């Protein structure tokens, strides 16, 4: 098995080395290494909760100490910050993670502050028979945003019932409003139930993304139903709303840019279309994200601009940022594009941090434009602006953690692949743990777009331990021939049991590994 193992490791390395040490991963790691984004995220996420959350409800005030009964869709993006923080901590700090999880469950139980729909739930546990009725709303886009957050919660908590409720909202209240468009062959959704309500990008793009995600989760049960919805919704948006293949609708706004880009990126992973079509999705996704971070319509002095002071406008950037980070972390996206976006994200994060007043921590307010400090009155401090800022820092921390873990696991995997194992030890069970850890590491490294923070940490620790044991074992074996010398020594097996004379045959032991005179040896 030593020859077999050496071959296996060489094959595994050739398949994984480019990924594990890709130019994008190396470059992003070199720019992000040593940064304190996670500490900063701890500060801003905690401050966001302390400054704006109604803690016994799980949803948020629209401004400092000011509640609004009709603030619904913004609640999706506010709790998303908490969900990302939960993902970062769920297997590292259970006490903190459970606190975040409790807020998430309260948000769900209290139907995300929906002023419409059925009555709030009596339990924090999803009921897949009736709970979807809690999230019905006249605004189609509001339901799309809430549905995306339900899917995010499902992924983060590994609880499929949240996804089932999301699916039911989509099936019963969203896609039922769709209209066929003969000119494009696509589907469009009205933004509201009011007569005369037409299509818009802030409904079309998230609906496309919801459908693509539902196909990823439920495709084996529903064949291509959700995929067809996603394609048709995308078709209408790309033919009727996309301008110059880099911005969606006029004027372009950060949240519609980000959501359309994420819909394109998701379609790459759920369709079986040609490489040409997938490359088009990739380019459009990057074009839209790059436009949001660099074009004068969306920026001011190279930083994402103030898009307005309303509760809606101020939260737009909280939608763009997570999707930009998803692009950076997706190994299927072009390397240079990922590197470019990672730098732009960090530039915004560093600018925001320089302009934060943390003297009253945990009360922190953020400005609509990250290039200047907040100087207004407390009662005017915006939840939307704080959410955008907290989302920026929390997702930059996510980018930091995943890139760092990916780089460290890739480096470790490459080192482990150089382990030399001498012939003759093919069946040694001492290498089983090492082989298993290598296989797990390879499976994780070969999963592009899978941002499994804890799985990376587990794999790193498991491979370190197994590699050390295998290395000690492999380098600690001395080969000797059976001889009278051996007969004069106390001989033990690897479990520490003395080998009795009855095991000897014609003055020799069966070939294998033993401990002879305190040394680990291989007897030929």
22 pLDDT tier (thresholds 50, 70, 90): confident
5 pLDDT tier (thresholds 50, 70, 90): very low
Question: Nearest 5°: CA angle at 24, between 23 and 30?
Answer: 90
Q: Please state which of the ranges 375-379, 416-420, 464-468 shows the lowest mean pLDDT.
A: 416-420
How high is the pLDDT of residue 10? Answer: 40
2 pLDDT tier (thresholds 50, 70, 90): very low
3-state SS string over 306-369? CCCCCCCHHHHHHHHHHHHHHHHHCCCCCHHHHHHHHHHHHHHHHHHHHCCCCCCCCCCCCCCC
Task: Say if CB 263 and CB 148 are below 8 A apart.
Answer: no
How high is the pLDDT of residue 466? Answer: 86
Q: What is the mean pLDDT of residues 239-250?
A: 96
Q: Please state which of the ranges 195-209, 434-448, 501-515 shows the lowest mean pLDDT.
A: 501-515
Q: What is the pLDDT of residues 326-385, one digit of tens each?
A: 999 999 999 999 999 999 999 999 999 999 999 999 999 999 999 999 999 999 999 999
Tell me the whole-structure pTM to 2 decimals: 0.87
- Which of 277, 274, 243, 273 is closest to 260 using CA atoms? 243
More confident residue, 307 or 220: 307
- Which of 360, 419, 356, 425 is closest to 392 using CA atoms? 356
Q: Is 95 helix (H, G, I), strand (E, B) or coil?
A: helix
Q: What separation in angstroms does the CA of 31 have from each of 7, 330, 347?
A: 35, 17, 11
What is the rounded distance in angstroms from the CA atom of residue 52 to the CA atom of residue 385?
11
413: Cβ–Cβ under 8 A, 6 or more apart, which residues? 13, 16, 20, 438, 441, 442, 445, 463
Q: What is the mean pLDDT of residues 214-228?
A: 93
Question: Nearest 5°: CA angle at 217, between 214 and 219?
Answer: 80
182: Cβ–Cβ under 8 A, 6 or more apart, which residues? none
Q: What is the pLDDT of residues 40-51, one digit of tens each?
A: 999 999 999 999
How high is the pLDDT of residue 106? Answer: 98
Q: What is the mean pLDDT of residues 436-442?
A: 89
Q: What separation in angstroms does the CA of 192 have from each of 73, 136, 185, 263?
A: 13, 12, 22, 21
| Residue corresponding to tokens 């290039």 | 371
| Residue corresponding to tokens 């970062």 | 88
Tokens for 400? 């930091």
- Which of 418, 425, 415, 417 is closest to 478 using CA atoms? 425
Q: Give the sign of the dihedral formed by CA 257, CA 262, CA 265, CA 270.
A: negative
Q: What is the mean pLDDT of residues 223-239?
A: 97
Q: What is the pLDDT of residues 493-505, one digit of tens each?
A: 777 788 876 666 6
450 pLDDT tier (thresholds 50, 70, 90): low
How high is the pLDDT of residue 11? Answer: 37
448 pLDDT tier (thresholds 50, 70, 90): low
How high is the pLDDT of residue 445? Answer: 83
How high is the pLDDT of residue 27? Answer: 95
How would you label 10-43 residue by residue, b for 16+ Cβ within 10 Å and e otherwise? eebbeebeebbbbebbbbbbeebeebebbebbbb
Task: Say if CB 258 and CB 246 are below 8 A apart.
Answer: no
Instruction: Show the domains of the chain with their CATH numbers.
Output: 70-211 (1.50.10.20), 478-523 (no CATH)
435 pLDDT tier (thresholds 50, 70, 90): confident
Average pLDDT of the chain is 90
pLDDT above 90: residue 460:
no
More confident residue, 320 or 420: 320
More confident residue, 469 or 248: 248
What is the rounded distance in angstroms from the CA atom of residue 202 to the CA atom of residue 289?
15
DSSP string, 424-453: T-TT-GGGHHHHHHHHHHHHHHT-TT---H
152 pLDDT tier (thresholds 50, 70, 90): very high
Q: What is the mean pLDDT of residues 67-94?
A: 96
Question: Nearest 5°: CA angle at 460, between 459 and 463?
Answer: 80
């Amino acid at each position: 098995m030593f020859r077999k193992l050496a071959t296996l490791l060489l094959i595994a390395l050739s398949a994984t080395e480019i990924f594990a040490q890709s130019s994008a991963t190396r470059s992003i790691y070199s720019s992000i290494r040593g940064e304190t984004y996670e500490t900063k995220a701890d500060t801003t996420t905690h401050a966001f909760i302390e400054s704006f959350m109604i803690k016994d409800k799980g949803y948020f005030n629209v401004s400092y100490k000011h509640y609004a009964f009709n603030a619904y869709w913004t609640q999706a993006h506010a709790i998303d910050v908490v969900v990302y923080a939960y993902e970062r901590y769920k297997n590292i700090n259970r006490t903190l993670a459970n606190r975040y999880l409790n807020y998430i469950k309260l948000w769900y139980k209290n139907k995300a502050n929906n002023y419409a729909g059925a009555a709030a739930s009596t339990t924090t546990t999803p009921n897949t028979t009736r709970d979807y009725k809690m999230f019905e709303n006249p605004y189609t886009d509001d339901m799309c945003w809430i549905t995306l957050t339900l899917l995010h919660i499902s992924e983060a908590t590994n609880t499929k019932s949240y996804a089932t409720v999301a699916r039911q909202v989509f099936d019963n209240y969203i896609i039922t409003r769709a209209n066929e468009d003969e000119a494009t062959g696509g589907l469009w959704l009205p933004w509201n139930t009011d007569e005369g309500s037409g299509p818009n990008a802030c409904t079309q793009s998230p609906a496309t993304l919801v459908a693509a995600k539902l196909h990823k989760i439920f495709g084996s049960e529903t064949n291509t139903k959700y995929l067809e919805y996603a394609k048709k919704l995308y078709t209408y948006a790309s033919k009727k709303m996309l301008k110059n293949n880099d911005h969606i609708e006029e004027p372009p706004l950060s949240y519609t840019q980000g959501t359309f880009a994420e819909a394109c990126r998701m379609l790459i992973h759920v369709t079986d279309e040609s490489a040409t079509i997938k490359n088009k999705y990739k380019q459009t996704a990057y074009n839209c994200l790059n436009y949001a971070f660099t074009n004068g319509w969306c920026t001011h002095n190279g930083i994402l601009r103030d898009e307005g002071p309303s509760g809606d406008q101020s939260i737009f950037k909280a939608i763009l940022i997570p999707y930009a980070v998803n692009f950076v972390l997706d190994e299927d996206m072009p390397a240079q594009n990922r590197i470019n976006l990672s730098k732009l994200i960090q530039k915004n994060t560093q600018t925001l941090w320089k302009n934060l007043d943390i003297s009253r921590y945990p009360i922190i307010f953020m400005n609509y434009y990250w290039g200047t400090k907040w100087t207004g009155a407390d009662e005017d401090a915006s939840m939307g602006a704080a959410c955008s800022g907290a989302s920026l820092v929390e997702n930059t921390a996510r980018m930091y953690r995943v890139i760092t873990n990916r780089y460290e696991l890739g480096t470790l995997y490459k080192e482990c692949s150089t382990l030399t194992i001498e012939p003759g030890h093919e069946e040694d069970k001492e290498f089983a743990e090492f082989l298993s850890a290598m296989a797990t590491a390879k499976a994780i490294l070969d999963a592009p777009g899978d941002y499994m923070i804890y799985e990376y940490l587990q794999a790193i620790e498991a491979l370190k331990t197994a590699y050390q044991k295998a290395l000690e074992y492999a380098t600690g074996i001395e080969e000797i021939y059976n001889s009278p010398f051996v007969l004069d020594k106390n001989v033990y097996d690897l479990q520490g049991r003395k080998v009795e004379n009855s095991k000897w045959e014609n003055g020799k032991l069966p070939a294998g590994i033993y401990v002879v005179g305190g040394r680990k040896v291989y007897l030929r």
